């Protein structure tokens, strides 16, 4: 026994949410050749299948590229600060991939260990994530190498499985998901399933064990010298969370904003004195990979990567953590010492 | 290394507005009480909380840092260089180097700045009780040492001999020069000043040479001592062997890392160096801890 919904009813449901003033984001064709998670204006904007992975990630609905932290007004020598706009709207992300949904509980750690980030947390509370299990993968996908898979439920409130005949099986994972879909589904005999997903690309246990002692390994330089420091890997990554804080305004006032940043940029670690601890691109690549596979898991218990493949898929020199880790495993296993 | 317990700052307003208390990124407003020029490109600033109650509730420990901001220009990270015993104001010191500090250069009395903090760990002043203190600083690194010096002088009975070695490129680059003079008059305090060769003036009475060499020649007694060494990476690098030769153990040598930071609250990823977030688990580390970090700071 299962719960199902037809594609048509699902679209009507999306239309109903939009009409009720709920902000709905989903995969949307933004260019002939490009699908991105974006806010939907109409239910027909939403692609419910036919894409592997959108070119961005759902993190931007929780941790936007640009966000006002507060407003300031300058009146002579006095300053007045104003709270940011209320974050009260209910939100739904539909058509998320499991590797995107899983990123959110992983990011919860850094946004809450000690100081709690209210902006991020508020959006986490407000947002329901409806995930579409993957029937296909491409060469860059490697969720299975980091303990996830084409229908991993982590971070999802609802899982959808494509069925034949324009139907979806609906599995509610959380109460939030249950409430969202209550009364919207029909009982059926059909159950969805997905193929096993990509073959493993590297041995995570081996790399986790080894990587901590490989700071000086030549593989970092060998494998990453071709990186051009564009930052696309970090910006398309569902788990990269670095940001900058900047003032945007004029002589009378403005906002202080949190903007995405990336450890791949040379300026990222430049000290005021001119000293730069990560002066070369391989050092910066090593930081990205080690942060995800050594520092973050040591500290928070989760690898900071869901295997979505975006960092390789969108890299113009086909790098990304997958490429680097494959090279690293090969090199370290072959090393005589 | 880290004393991190989760803080509960949840207190949102009914309409979904993130409240002042909840917004970890929103600074307190502070009034500029005094700006002093310390050298050709360094100024010190004294600040008081605009909100009296906020000022009363505020406390910090020497060694911690704050995020200071000039609205319209942005935020910058500086050590709080006043002593934690001083209740009515805090101070920081900056060198004119970038966009924010160039704009800060023009602030004057009565202006309003933003302040978030205190952040990070601090000097273990309690654990240093009963010890001789060796402070070694280079260039703009005097301010983060100064707070500890004043603190120790104010609790004079708690600490043994105090030795201060401070060097800069030229005589004009020595900051807090007047306070150095004052410290030198105190009992059981020895101040050794030095400038790089060629940086002296005709009436210069201090040493001429680099901090590591001057430290080595100063004949400082290292028994029962701890050292706080802050300065450019190159100065630290060459001073450490000198301290080791004097007999100081790695766990008795402290420094404060100057990693670039943005958020100060363990979120933005900027200060991450090896396994640590410098803004949370630092900035104060012993040499013993530093040796465990990769060469990444
Ligand atoms: S790895 Fe690729 S995507 Fe990332 S910064 Fe380098 S060139 Fe850009
Ligand atoms: S590191 Fe790459 S594969 Fe991993 S989550 Fe980020 S973009 Fe996806
Ligand atoms: S300064 Fe942002 S994480 Fe440390």
In a domain, B3, yes or no: no
Q: Exposed, middle or buried by CB within 10 Å (0-12, 13-18, 19+), for B188?
A: exposed
What domain range is B209 assigned to?
132-256
User: What is the share, in percent, of chain B residues with pLDDT greater than 90?
Assistant: 80
In a domain, B287, yes or no: no
CATH number at residue B230: 3.40.50.80
Confidence of residue B296 (pLDDT cuts 50, 70, 90): low
ipTM for this model? 0.89
Mean pLDDT for all residues in chain B: 91
Q: How far is B237 from chain A (nearest CA, A)?
A: 14
- Residue of A57, A311, A312, A319 best suited for mutating to test ligand 1, as the one with most atoms within 8 Å of CB: A319
In a domain, B89, yes or no: yes
pLDDT, mean of residues B277-281: 91
In a domain, B88, yes or no: yes
Bridge partners, residue B262, by sequence: none
Chains A and B form CB pairs within 8 A to the count of 166
| Same domain, residue pair B93 and B32 | yes
Per the listing, tokens 């804080």 go with A245
pLDDT, mean of residues A54-79: 94
Confidence of residue B12 (pLDDT cuts 50, 70, 90): low
The residue from B92, B119, B146 where one domain ends is B119
Mean pLDDT for all residues in chain A: 94
| Same domain, residue pair B71 and B106 | yes
Are B275 and A294 a contacting pair at CB < 8 A?
yes
pLDDT, mean of residues A56-74: 96
Nearest to B145 by CA among B157, B162, B158, B126: B162
Residue of A nearest to B232 (CA): A273
* Whole-number pLDDT of residue A300: 95
User: DSSP readout, chain B?
Assistant: -------------TTSPPPTTT-TTPPEEEEEEEEEE-SSSEEEEEEEESSHHHHHH----TT-EEEEEETTTEEEEEE--S-TT--S-EEEEEES-SHHHHHHTT--TT-EEEEEEEES----TTTTTTSEEEEEEEGGGSHHHHHHHHHHHHTGGG---EEEEEEESSGGG-TTHHHHHHHHHSTTEEEEEEE-TT---TT--SEES-HHHHHHHT----TTEEEEEES-HHHHHHHHHHHHHHT--GGGEEEE-----SSSSS-S-TTEETTEEHHHH-SEEEHHHHHHS-S--
Q: Exposed, middle or buried by CB within 10 Å (0-12, 13-18, 19+), for A205?
A: exposed
Per the listing, tokens 């009982």 go with A187
φ/ψ of residue A281, rounded to 5: -65, -45
In a domain, B211, yes or no: yes
Report the first-to-last Cα separation within chain A, whole angstroms. 56
| Same domain, residue pair B79 and B174 | no
| Same domain, residue pair B91 and B199 | no
Report the first-to-last Cα separation within chain B, whole angstroms. 17
Contacts of B25 in chain A (CB under 8 A): 69-70, 245, 256, 258
Q: Which of residues 98-117 of B touch A (CB under 8 A)?
A: 98, 101, 110-112, 114
| Same domain, residue pair B239 and B152 | yes
| Same domain, residue pair B57 and B142 | no
Q: Lowest-confidence range among A189-198, B11-20, B147-156?
A: B11-20
Distance A54 CA to ligand 1 centre (A): 18
The answer to whether the CB of A245 falls within 8 A of the CB of B271 is no
| Same domain, residue pair B189 and B113 | no
The answer, yes or no, to whether residue B6 has pLDDT greater than 70, is no
The pLDDT tens digits of the residues spanning B203-249 come to 999 999 999 999 999 989 889 999 999 998 889 989 999 999 999 99
* Whole-number pLDDT of residue B9: 57
The pLDDT tens digits of the residues spanning A12-23 come to 999 999 999 999
Confidence of residue A319 (pLDDT cuts 50, 70, 90): very high
Are B9 and A250 a contacting pair at CB < 8 A?
no
A41 touches chain B (CB under 8 A): no
Confidence of residue A101 (pLDDT cuts 50, 70, 90): very high
| Same domain, residue pair B167 and B114 | no
Nearest to B32 by CA among B50, B51, B47, B52: B47
Q: Which two tokens stand for residue A96?
A: 């998320």
| Same domain, residue pair B89 and B52 | yes
Q: How far is A260 from chain B (nearest CA, A)?
A: 9
* Whole-number pLDDT of residue B11: 57
CATH number at residue B90: 2.40.30.10
The answer, yes or no, to whether residue A26 has pLDDT greater than 70, is yes
The pLDDT tens digits of the residues spanning A257-293 come to 999 999 999 888 888 778 888 889 989 999 999 999 9
B8 touches chain A (CB under 8 A): yes
Contacts of A251 in chain B (CB under 8 A): 72
Confidence of residue B2 (pLDDT cuts 50, 70, 90): very low
pLDDT, mean of residues A304-308: 97
Rg (CA), chain A: 21
The residue from B57, B90, B119 where one domain ends is B119
* Whole-number pLDDT of residue B3: 37
Q: Exposed, middle or buried by CB within 10 Å (0-12, 13-18, 19+), for A3?
A: middle
The answer, yes or no, to whether residue A139 has pLDDT greater than 90, is yes
Angle between helices A103-110 and A118-126 (to 10 degrees): 150
| Same domain, residue pair B139 and B240 | yes
* Whole-number pLDDT of residue A47: 93
pTM above 0.90, yes or no: yes
Domains contained in chain A, number: 1
Q: Lowest-confidence range among A1-10, A104-113, B11-20?
A: B11-20
pLDDT, mean of residues B252-278: 90
Q: How far apart, in whole angstroms, are the C-alpha atoms of residue B216 and residue A99?
A: 57
What domain range is A268 assigned to?
2-336
A165 touches chain B (CB under 8 A): no
CA distances from A52 to A62, A165, A309, A310 (A): 22, 20, 10, 11
Domains contained in chain B, number: 2
């Amino acid at each position: 026994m299962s719960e199902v919904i037809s594609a048509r009813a699902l679209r009507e449901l999306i239309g109903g949410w939009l009409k009720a003033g709920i902000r709905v984001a989903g995969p949307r064709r933004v260019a002939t050749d490009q699908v991105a998670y974006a806010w939907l204006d109409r239910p027909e904007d939403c692609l419910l299948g036919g894409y592997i992975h959108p070119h961005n990630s759902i993190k931007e609905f929780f941790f936007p590229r640009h966000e006002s932290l507060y407003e300031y007004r300058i009146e002579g020598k006095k300053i007045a600060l104003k709270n940011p706009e209320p974050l009260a709207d209910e939100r739904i992300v539909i058509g998320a991939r499991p590797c995107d949904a899983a990123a959110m509980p992983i990011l919860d750690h850094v946004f809450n260990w000690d100081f709690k980030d209210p902006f991020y947390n508020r959006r986490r509370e407000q947002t329901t994530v409806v995930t579409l299990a993957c029937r296909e993968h491409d060469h860059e996908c490697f969720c299975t190498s980091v303990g996830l898979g084409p229908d991993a439920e982590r971070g999802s409130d609802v899982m959808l499985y494509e069925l034949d005949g324009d139907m979806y099986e609906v599995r509610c994972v959380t109460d939030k998901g249950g409430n969202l879909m209550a009364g919207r589904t029909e009982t059926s005999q059909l159950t969805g399933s997905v193929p096993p997903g990509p073959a493993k690309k590297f041995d995570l246990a081996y790399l986790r064990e080894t990587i901590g002692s490989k700071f000086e390994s030549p593989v970092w330089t060998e494998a990453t010298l071709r990186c051009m420091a564009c930052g696309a890997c970090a910006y398309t990554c569902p788990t990269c969370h670095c940001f900058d804080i900047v003032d945007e305004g004029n002589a009378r006032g403005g906002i202080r904003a949190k903007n995405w940043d990336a450890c791949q940029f040379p300026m990222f670690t430049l000290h005021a004195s001119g000293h730069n601890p990560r002066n070369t691109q391989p050092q910066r690549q090593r930081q990205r990979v080690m942060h995800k596979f050594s520092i973050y898991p040591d500290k928070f218990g989760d690898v900071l990567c869901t295997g979505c493949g975006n960092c390789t898929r969108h890299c113009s020199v086909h790098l990304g953590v997958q490429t680097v880790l494959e090279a690293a495993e090969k090199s370290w296993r072959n090393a005589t010492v | 290394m880290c004393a991190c317990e989760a803080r509960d700052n949840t207190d949102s307003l009914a309409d979904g507005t993130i409240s002042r208390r909840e917004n970890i990124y929103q600074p307190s407003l502070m009034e500029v009480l005094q700006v002093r020029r310390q050298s050709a490109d360094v100024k010190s600033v004294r600040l008081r909380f605009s909100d009296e109650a906020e000022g009363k509730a505020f406390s910090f420990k020497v060694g911690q840092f704050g995020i200071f901001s000039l609205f319209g220009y942005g935020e910058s990270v500086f050590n709080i260089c006043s002593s934690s015993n001083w209740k009515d104001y805090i101070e920081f010191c900056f060198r004119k180097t970038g966009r924010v500090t160039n704009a800060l250069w023009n602030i004057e009395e009565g202006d309003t700045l933003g302040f978030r903090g205190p952040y990070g760990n601090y000097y273990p002043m309690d654990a240093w009780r009963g010890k001789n203190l060796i402070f070694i600083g280079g260039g703009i690194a005097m301010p983060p040492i100064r707070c500890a010096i004043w603190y120790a002088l104010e609790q004079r009975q708690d600490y043994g001999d105090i030795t201060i070695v401070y060097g800069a490129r030229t005589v004009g680059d020595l900051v807090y020069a007047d306070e150095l003079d004052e410290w030198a008059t105190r009992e059981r305090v020895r101040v050794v000043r030095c400038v790089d060769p060629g940086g002296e003036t005709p009436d210069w009475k201090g040493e001429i040479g680099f901090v590591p060499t001057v430290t080595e020649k100063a004949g400082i007694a290292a028994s029962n001592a701890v050292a706080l060494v802050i300065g450019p990476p190159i100065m630290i690098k060459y001073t450490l062997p000198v301290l080791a030769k004097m007999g100081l153990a790695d766990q008795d040598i402290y420094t404060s890392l100057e990693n670039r930071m943005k958020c100060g609250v363990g979120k933005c990823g900027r200060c991450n160096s090896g396994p640590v977030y410098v803004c949370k688990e630092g900035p104060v580390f012993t040499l013993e801890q530093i040796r465990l970090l990769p060469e990444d700071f």
